[in-house]
């Protein structure tokens, strides 16, 4: 199959993969990578072509201001190399994720990383040179040469960064330093996943469990409360013993970010981190403001959880057990069919794309030995349809994850069908919205078709936990991330103890510790050392803005129908044709600097709790 596609982001949903038998299914369950390259030899040829093209790109240095034709040729050369590299990278990455234990695919990934770094360094002179040509001449070139139309937004974005762009020599040094600034994340990953001596404990059932990060994620949700406490005490106790080391690693990440911000003369770290997407600072500020004003809604959720679990002193280790259990089986076929029905409200165009995509053998569905855990959509290869990795375990979470990832895939396809490659790289700020709208539509469909109140409670409880984890928890992370960077900016020491103190204060405030809502033990305040997202450079706040935008769009589509749907789909089709905030504003009228989207999410959460309490009151009457 050959329909076309795009993008360069992976969207991970972390789950615990388990090896299983591959069941019979109507849907393709293993991806076919020959749409990318028929063989490894073809892949090798393409990788070499990227390397061989780098000197050609460098030959344009010093010539961008000579004519519109030369500027277009240089930009086209860089675009072609990036496009080919995206295809090469996707093949290497997907092949490696089939079995992480195989050395040859890992080696291919490393080779791609090396060539990618070389291309980045070898093109680092382009932005300073475009800025030196100046906006007046660049605009004249755009008007003169139709071939520059795919590059117009990128050129204007480059010019916008003029005050923060350095000389070609310094830019090349900073590009080369990227290998160094990525090291804290690599060190954290190796230490947390390979070297840290995680504990083993025995549960009340007699089962001995190994509490590495995957083990903790699984066993923190067990039914027995004493076991949950034992899991928390052992896991956080072990991590707490290494808080000084983990603190030094995170400090290195923070210092690298502050260094880049200061080198480029940004006013502050928030100015630096929002500059890439040209996001107004008010987006972050409005999110945090509304979240903090809405903490009573979160505290209401904890008291409701306390009621549903049948306890009277809810503590941090009571947050993860399912509020309602379900033995429903959600096969991959059922997941696909229910998703198709669930998103029917997104219209015929969207539904037809989904029905077409599920027939394509671009999804690796089931867990297998050595396979990467979790789930993601990979759309960097512009000239093929998106690829998806799942670890489908036949539960509701697997179905929700499918709906999420296919939302990314259809966003990718819609963007590709309406944008050239050069404008196909949509922002993370918008990306998660497309995936979460699918999840919310699926939730609403499941609720409308639940066979009884018990099943309805299951779906409501699952939806409630998603809002807690994706909105409130991610905003708390965002507050912490900004706070620790501001500590370094003002020259304050940032030790493991200080990180635990800062995180603990936020953890207790969000969970109502001082108000007697939910008790946070001091030993659990080292949780910051467990969160890999703090190495993603202010990525987390976008989860919260995305789920807010998704709640807003879902509400608008249900309320206003076709006009609201058209606006939403126009956002997906816009890709990277403009700055993400402007796309939301111009295509759909959604202003993320205002409170409306965040209030929509809070309304949804309050409504869910109203429905749960009504069912519980009826049951107890």
Hey, what are 101's tokens?
């234990």
Position of tokens 């020959």? 34
DSSP states along 485-496: HHHHHTT----H
- The catalytic residue among 72, 405, 422, 432 is 405
Q: Which residues of 18-36 are buried (b: 16+ CB within 10 A; e: fewer)?
A: eeeeeeebebbbebebebb
Mention every residue, 6+ apart, whose C-beta is less than 8 A from residue 284.
270, 274, 478, 482, 541
- What is residue 315's DSSP assignment? B
| Helix (H) or strand (E) run with residue 388 in it | strand 387-389
- Residue 55 CB partners (closer than 8 Å, separation 6+): none
- Residues 411 and 167: their CA atoms lie apart, in Å, by 37
3-class DSSP assignment, residue 148: helix
Contacts of 246 (CB under 8 A, 6+ apart): 188, 191, 239, 496, 529
Separation of alpha carbons 9 and 4, rounded Å: 16
User: Taking the mean position of all CA atoms in its chain, how far away is CA 398?
Assistant: 17
How far apart CA 474 and CA 298 sit, in angstroms, is 13
396 burial via Cβ count (<10 Å: 0-12, 13-18, 19+)? buried
- Phi, psi (deg, nearest 5) at residue 376: -160, 165
Cα–chain center distance at 572: 16
Helix (H, G, I), strand (E, B) or coil at 383: coil
CB atoms within 10 A of CB 402: 27
Residue 342 in contact with residue 557, Cβ under 8 Å? no
Q: Determine the longest span between alpha carbons in the chain, in angstroms.
A: 82
What is residue 376's three-state secondary structure? Answer: strand
SS3 track for 42-104 = HHHHHHHHHHHHHHHHHCCCCCCCCCHHHHHHHHHHHHHHHHHHHHHHHHHHHHHHHCCCCHH
Nearest to 87 by CA among 322, 484, 382: 382
> Of 264, 346, 292, which is closest to residue 557 (Cα–Cα)?
346
Report which DSSP code applies to 340.
H
| Number of residues that make up the chain | 621
Q: Is 328 helix (H, G, I), strand (E, B) or coil?
A: coil
Is 405 an annotated catalytic residue? Answer: yes
Tell me the CB-side half-sphere exposure of residue 449, using CA atoms within 13 A. 10
Q: Which of 315, 314, 299 is nearest to 233 (CA)?
A: 315
Cα 379 from chain centre: 14
| Catalytic site positions | 405
């Amino acid at each position: 199959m050959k329909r076309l596609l795009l993008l360069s982001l992976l969207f991970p949903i972390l789950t615990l993969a388990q090896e299983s038998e591959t069941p019979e299914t109507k849907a393709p369950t293993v991806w076919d990578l020959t749409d990318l390259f028929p063989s490894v030899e073809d892949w090798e040829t393409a990788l070499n072509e990227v390397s061989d093209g780098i000197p050609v790109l460098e030959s344009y240095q010093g010539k961008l201001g000579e004519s519109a034709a030369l500027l277009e040729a240089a930009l086209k050369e860089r675009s072609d190399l990036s496009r080919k590299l995206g295809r090469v990278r996707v093949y290497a990455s997907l092949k490696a994720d089939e079995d992480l234990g195989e050395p040859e695919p890992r080696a291919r990934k490393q080779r791609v990383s090396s060539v990618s770094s070389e291309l980045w360094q070898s093109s680092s002179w382009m932005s300073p040179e475009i800025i030196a040509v100046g906006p007046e001449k660049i605009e004249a070139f755009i008007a003169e040469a139709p071939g520059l139309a795919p590059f117009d937004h990128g050129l204007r974005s480059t010019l916008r960064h003029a005050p923060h762009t350095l000389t070609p020599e310094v830019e090349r040094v900073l590009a080369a330093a990227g290998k160094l600034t990525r090291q804290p994340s690599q060190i954290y990953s190796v230490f947390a996943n390979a070297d840290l001596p995680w504990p083993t404990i025995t549960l009340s059932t007699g089962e001995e469990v190994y509490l590495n990060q995957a083990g903790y994620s699984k066993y923190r949700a067990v039914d027995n409360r004493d076991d949950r406490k034992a899991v928390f005490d052992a896991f956080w106790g072990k991590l707490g013993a290494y808080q000084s080391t983990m603190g030094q690693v995170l400090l290195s990440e923070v210092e690298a970010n502050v260094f880049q911000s200061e080198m480029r003369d940004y006013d502050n770290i928030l100015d630096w981190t929002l500059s890439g997407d040209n996001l107004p600072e008010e987006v972050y500020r409005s999110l945090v403001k509304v979240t903090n004003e809405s903490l009573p809604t979160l505290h209401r959720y904890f008291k409701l959880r306390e009621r549903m679990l049948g306890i009277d002193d809810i503590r941090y280790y009571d947050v993860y057990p399912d509020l309602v259990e379900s033995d429903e089986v959600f096969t991959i076929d059922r997941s696909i069919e229910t998703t198709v029905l669930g998103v029917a409200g997104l219209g015929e165009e969207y539904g037809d794309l989904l029905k077409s995509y599920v027939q394509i053998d671009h999804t690796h569905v089931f867990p297998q030995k050595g396979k990467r855990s979790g789930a993601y959509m990979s759309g960097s290869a512009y000239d093929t349809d998106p690829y998806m990795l799942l670890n489908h375990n036949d539960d509701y979470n697997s179905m929700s994850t499918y709906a999420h990832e296919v939302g990314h895939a259809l966003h990718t396809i819609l963007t590709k069908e309406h944008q050239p490659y050069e404008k196909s790289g949509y922002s993370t700020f918008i990306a998660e919205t497309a995936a979460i709208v699918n999840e919310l539509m699926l939730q609403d469909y499941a609720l409308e078709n639940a066979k009884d109140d018990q099943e309805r409670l299951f779906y409501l409880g699952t939806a409630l936990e998603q809002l807690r984890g994706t909105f409130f928890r991610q905003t708390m992370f965002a507050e912490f991330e900004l706070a620790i960077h501001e500590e370094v900016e003002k020259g304050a020491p940032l030790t493991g103890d200080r990180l635990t103190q800062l995180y603990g204060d936020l953890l207790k405030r969000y969970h109502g510790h001082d108000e007697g809502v939910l008790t946070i033990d001091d030993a659990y305040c080292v949780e910051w050392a467990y969160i890999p997202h703090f190495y993603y450079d202010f990525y987390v706040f976008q989860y919260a803005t995305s789920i807010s935008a998704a709640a807003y769009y879902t509400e608008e589509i249900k309320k206003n129908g076709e006009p609201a749907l058209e606006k939403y789909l126009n956002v997906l089709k816009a890709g990277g044709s403009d700055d993400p905030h402007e796309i939301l504003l111009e295509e759909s009228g959604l202003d993320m600097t205002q409170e409306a989207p965040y209030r929509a999410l809070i309304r949804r959460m309050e409504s869910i709790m109203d429905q749960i309490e009504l069912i519980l009151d009826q049951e107890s009457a």
